Amino acid sequence: MKVFENPDLHCHSTRSDGHLTPTEVVSRALANGVDLLALTDHDELDGIDEALAAARDTALRLLPGVEISTSFAGETIHIVGLGIDHRHRPLQQALAELRAGRAERAERIGAELARCGIPDALAGARRLARNPELVGRAHFARHIVACGLMPDVKTVFDHYLATGKPGFVPHQWAEVEQAVGWIVASGGLAVLAHPARYRLSSRELQALLARFQNAGGEAIEVVGGAHTEQEMHRFAGIARQRGLLASRASDFHGIGEGPVDLGRCNPLPPDLIPVWSRFC
Ligand code: AMP
Ligand code: MN
Ligand code: MN
Ligand code: MN
């Protein structure tokens, strides 16, 4: 059985809102000593073949992955699929529909930002998005920074793009059960991404986890770029209590954007069952 020493099971490329191409992501992960990497672009499988080719005959094993956008209790919840079959037609079709919804949402975000006095934001975001089907909030944020209107992406989210801010538009993504179902049907394992990010009460989080597990979801990100030490301990406790496998995930988007580089997350608490035990 292969023991992985530096797995990183969540990151992005230019096929969604990452800064590096799939090939560049794999090269950087290799340079950082990652031995198991999942490329998990938002609602998109298009980068997987390139990443697999880049990882061939290297010390890095590439797991096909995806990060699916879902809606629950007014929050957007992200569900990562690991070890999916990126050629599975029902999964591809479901993600194509989510991307069509994104295109329509991008127009509404552009209109909201125009009302806030930021004209032509949609054109700017489209210019920055390397995948025309995947214009996301990160591209709007980067455009606003590039225009010199705000110092950094995080500040743009805090002022305009986070839930409830003036440039935010509500959007109906997939249901939690649908996303888990698509992942499982394509042979993958579903992971609840960055649980600390959601504005949910403890009761709502437990309700979300119940729905997620009833649908076949099996794992939760415990160690991740978005988690403080305290949050890591909280979600380690929830993994133990609910019998969830634990994941380790940088959620890397690019150099200098986000808190953690590829393969640089802390280790998992040793008593947890790592999600990669399923991929050894
Ligand atoms: P979207 O899927 O288009 O709604 O965009 C979600 C993406 O926006 C996340 O994956 C991050 O890349 C980025 N994002 C969300 N919240 C923040 C934040 N507070 N600061 C920086 N980036 C963020
Ligand atoms: Mn992102
Ligand atoms: Mn996410
Ligand atoms: Mn992500």
pLDDT in tens, the chain (280 residues): 679 999 999 999 999 999 999 999 999 999 999 999 999 999 999 999 999 999 999 999 999 999 999 999 999 999 999 999 999 999 999 999 999 999 999 999 999 999 999 999 999 999 999 999 999 999 999 999 999 999 999 999 999 999 999 999 999 999 999 999 999 999 999 999 999 999 999 999 999 999 999 999 999 999 998 899 999 999 999 999 999 999 999 999 999 888 999 999 999 999 999 999 999 9
Is there an atom of ligand 1 within 6 Å of 10 CB?
A: no
For the chain, the structural domain boundaries read 7-95+172-279, 96-161
Q: Which of 137, 156, 168, 198 to mutate to test the pocket of ligand 1 (most atoms within 8 A of CB)?
A: 137
**DSSP, residue by residue, 183-214:** HHHTT-EEEE--GGGS---HHHHHHHHHHHHH
Task: Give 253 Cα–ligand 2 centroid separation in angstroms.
Answer: 7
Specify the pTM. 0.98
Is there an atom of ligand 1 within 6 Å of 105 CB?
A: no
Length of the chain: 280
For 32, which DSSP code?
T
Is there an atom of ligand 1 within 6 Å of 18 CB?
A: no
Q: Which ligand is nearest to the CA of 250?
A: 4
Q: Give the C-alpha distances (Å, rounded to integers) separating 26 from 19, 23, 34, 38, 278.
A: 13, 5, 9, 10, 21
C-alpha to C-alpha distance for 110 and 121, rounded to whole angstroms: 5
Is there an atom of ligand 1 within 6 Å of 137 CB?
A: yes
C-alpha to C-alpha distance for 19 and 38, rounded to whole angstroms: 16
Q: Which atom of ligand 1 is nearest to the CA of 139?
A: 3
> What architecture is the 96-161 domain classified under in CATH?
Orthogonal Bundle (1.10)
Joined tokens for residue 8: 């990183």
- What fold does the segment set 7-95+172-279 form as a domain? TIM Barrel (3.20.20)
